[in-house]
Every structure is written in structure tokens, then in C-alpha cells.
Amino acid sequence: MLAALPAAGPDLGEVLEVLTFGAGFNTAIVVAGALLLGMAAGTIGTFSMLRGRALMSDALAHSTLPGVCVGFLVAASLGALENKLPILLACATVTGVLGVLAVQAIARTGRLREDAAIGASLSVFFGIGVVLLSAIQGMDIGGQGGINAFIFGQTAAMLARDAAALGAIAVACALLTALLFKEFRLLCFDPVFASSQGWPVNRIDLAMMALVVAVTVTGLQAVGLILIVALVIIPPATARLWTDRLWRMACLSALFGAMSGYLGASLSALLTDTPAGAVIVLTAGAMYVASLFAAPRRGVIAGVVRRLLLRRTIARQHALRALYESIEAAGAGEPRVPLDALLAGRSWGASELRRALGSLRRSGLCETDARSVRLTGSGLEEARRITRNHRLWEEYLVAFADIAPSHVDHAADLVEHVLDAPLVAQLEQRLRSAGRLPGPSVHPIGAGGGGA
């Protein structure tokens, strides 16, 4: 908690003061420090997640607790409890690195998978830390109050030097990521190829984990060893929903991490009795949930819209092919096709057929009356193209996949809607060279072919 405000909540002026770093020096330091921490965690977290090391930061964070406790004992023995933070972070770094090395050593034996090695390592190190913490709390030593803060964080107690350290880490992460972007990308996507080409994979991996260690240890006081993992994982996961390009993902991850720290710390300053570390993580989680629904390509809403559009396209194409096959079977040029004949020959319901024909009519591909349908000139051309693609794929399946003609129509229905022009050209070339270019369907129209 940074400020005790009335139960009515902050007004607009107070909100603007916090968001513009005008609510006092301490609040501005905390908000700026949280912003920089989120930026650093999001930047390096991108590569950690793509490398499959997302939970490695969890093992690292839990492994720092014994180091914090040992560092406290060292500071007490040296009489340096008033300025113990550098000692605590140094010792936390040592045990954190030992935890990571323990995970790698266990995984390389081949007897346990990496996820099991991570679980074993973090639980053992965290258990040692809890035992040491209990022992310290039972000792008659002053200055113990700051140790528990490393578990859940104490963002509101951030000092100017802490924010400066976070700024240095953020700048270092940005610079090293830019300098080693090609190497990190190669390590994340194809480490075997990188090793075969002579790249120093182990050194690159070590540099990446060094940045993760630096961000994790530096962020211990801000959000705690339990919640720092969220800042390394959630922003990259959010960014992944918005793009497939690595450099964009890294930039978006840094942005989402920075916004999580900025907005979370600001909310904590504005709301009464709310821990800043937890609010920062909840803000990051809210961004992920919003992106999960709103992302343009991987979002839930976009996925639902794509499926609905695909279903409409499939229904339109099935209707066009059914009309063309009915005209072909009748042996006429462009006769009107009775609706009853369409319903009898296909496996759709009357309402589904009406929707498909309505869509075709609005597109100018057919004309309808109460009992029949007639394809327009453009509709006949489109129906001929769709039917030919279907038969190309049928012929290919019969000729090269050894599927029986009586079963090929349904198999072709699963693929024909995603055949693009280059693939159609390849099918034509392959079938032409084999003397198998299709004319009529390989199965009798209306006999086993109406499963669409």
C-alpha cells in the first residue's frame, strides 16, 4: 500500500497525478521501478518461453530463498544489517544459479524429464529456505522484518537505488537482446542446427539464463520470489497471441510487461490496502485474458468468426456443386433445379439450404423462386470451378491414395474448400502426367456422393 485513501476511492485528479508521476517522489519511484521491471522481464521472458524454459524461472525464483536467508546470516555476522540488501541479493543469485544448475544436471542424466527436474529442484531449495527462515525467526537478531518481503514482495518499499538498478537491468536486457537477437532466435527454434553449424550453443544459453537470473533476482524485492515468475511468463504469453513474428513478439512482450508494472503499481497507489506486487501480476493476467479474447488472429472471438465464415463458405460451395451436378445429371444447359431434388440429394436440412441459397442469391450467383433455383452466368462459372476442384482431388485420392471410389466423395469434401490455385495447378499437372485428368465424377452422381 502506498497511500491510505478514503473509502469513496480516488477522484480523476488523483488518478492523473499517479499516472503522470506527480503524486509524490516515493510513488513515482515505485511506479517507475515497476515499469522498468516489467519491461526487463517481458523482454527476456520472450526467449525464455520460446526456449521451453518458462518454468526454469520458477525454479530459479524458489531457489533464491535459501540465499536470502544465508545472506541475512552473513550480514548479521558482519554487523551490516542496516545495509543488507546487496548481500541478500548476491547470496540469492548464488543459490538461484545453483538451483538452475541442479535442474540441468538432473535433466541431463536422462532419468527425469526437465519438468520433473524443475519440480524436484524448486521444492527442495524452497524447503531449505523455509527451514532457514524459521530458524532465523527463532533467533534473537534484529532486522528480520525485511526477509519475509522477499517471498511476496514489498514494492511500496522500493528506493531510488532499487529503481535505478531495475533501469540498468532493463537497458542491459534491451541492448543484449538486440545484439544477440539472431543467436537467441536460432537457439530458441533450432538448437540442434545451431550446434551442427558450430554456434556456441552453451554460451548463448548461458547468456540467456544470466539475463533471466538478473531480472529474477533484481525483481525479488518488488514482487517477491513467487510472483516474479508471472512477470517473466505472462507478458510473452500475451504477446504470442498478437503476432507470429519474433521481433514483434519481443517488443510487445516488453510493452505488456511495462504496462503491467506501470498500471499495477498505479492502481496499488490509488486503492486502499492493496499489495502492489499482487496487483501488478493481476494486471498482467487481465491483459492476457483480454488478449485471449480480442487478439486478431489467435483470439477466441477471431477464431469463432473464422469458423462461422468457413462454415458459410463450405455451405455455399456445397450448394453450388450440388446445383452443378444436378444440371449435369439432367443433361441440360442451365435448367432450373427443383428445391425438392436438392433436399433429396444432400444431407442438409431445409433451413440450412435456405441460408446457403440466400447467401448465393445476395452474391448474384443464383436466382430462386418458391420451388426451384437457377444459376446465373457467374454462378455457373463458379460452380464449374468448385466441381472441377472437387473432382481433381477425388481423382488424386483414387489414383494415388488408393481410396475406393464409393468413399472418396466424403474424403474430398474435407479438403476441397482449402485448395488454392497453386495446389490445383499441381494436382492438374500430376494427373495430366498420369493420364488421369477428371471429367465426370469418379463415383455416380447422386449415388453415394451426396454426403456433403
Domain ranges of the chain: 13-294, 303-433
Please say whether the beta carbons of 63 and 99 come within 8 A: yes
Give me the numbers of helices (H) and strands (E) for the chain, helices first please. 19, 3
User: How much is the pLDDT for 438?
Assistant: 65
How much of the chain is in helix, strand and coil states, percent to nearest 5? Answer: 75, 0, 25
- Cell digits of residue 77: 555476522
Phi, psi values for residue 373, rounded to 5°: -135, 145
Which DSSP category does 336 fall into?
P
* Residue 103 near residue 125, CB atoms below 8 Å: no
Write the burial class of residue 40 (CB in 10 Å: 0-12 exposed, 13-18 middle, 19+ buried): buried
Looking at residue 18, its pLDDT comes to: 81
Looking only at the bridges linking them, the beta strands covering 372-375 and 337-338 are: antiparallel
All three cell numbers of 95, joined, read 543459490
| Residue 338: strand, helix, or coil | strand
pLDDT of residue 300: 93
pLDDT in single tens digits along all 452 residues of the chain: 455 444 556 778 878 888 887 778 888 888 888 888 889 889 989 998 888 877 787 788 888 888 888 888 888 888 776 777 778 888 888 888 888 888 888 877 767 787 788 888 888 988 998 888 888 877 776 555 566 667 767 776 777 777 787 788 888 888 888 888 988 998 888 888 888 888 888 888 888 888 888 888 877 777 777 778 888 899 999 999 999 899 999 999 999 999 998 998 888 888 877 887 888 889 999 999 999 999 988 899 999 999 898 888 888 888 888 888 888 877 755 578 888 878 876 677 788 888 888 999 998 998 888 888 888 889 888 888 888 888 888 777 777 777 777 677 666 776 777 777 787 788 778 777 766 666 666 655 444 444 44
- C-alpha–C-alpha distance, residues 365 and 368, integer Å: 10
Phi, psi torsion values for 90, nearest 5 degrees = -65, -45
Tell me, what's the pLDDT at 313?
A: 87
> What is the pLDDT, as a whole number, of residue 8?
58
Same fold, 13-294 and 303-433: no
What integer pLDDT is reported at residue 16 of this predicted model? 83
pLDDT for res 166 = 77
The arrangement of secondary structure in 13-294, i.e. its CATH architecture, is Orthogonal Bundle (1.10)
pLDDT at 34: 85
Put simply, whether the predicted model's pTM sits higher than 0.75 gets the answer: yes
> Who's near 114: CB < 8 A, 6+ residues apart?
52, 103, 107
Please tell me the distance from the alpha carbon of residue 103 to that of residue 123, in angstroms, as a whole number: 11
Residue 301 pLDDT:
93
The confidence score (pLDDT) of residue 448 equals: 40
Q: What is the DSSP string of 227-280?
A: HHHHHHHHHHHHHHTT-S-HHHHHHHHHHHHHHHHHHHHHHHHHSTT--HHHHH
Buried b (16+ CB within 10 A) or exposed e, 367-388: ebeeeebbbbeebbebbbebbb
pLDDT of residue 390: 82
**The C-alpha cell that represents 109 in the structure block:** 542424466
CATH classification of 303-433 is 1.10.10.10, yes or no? yes
Nearest to 380 by CA among 316, 320, 293: 320
Contact 250, 308 (CB under 8 A): no
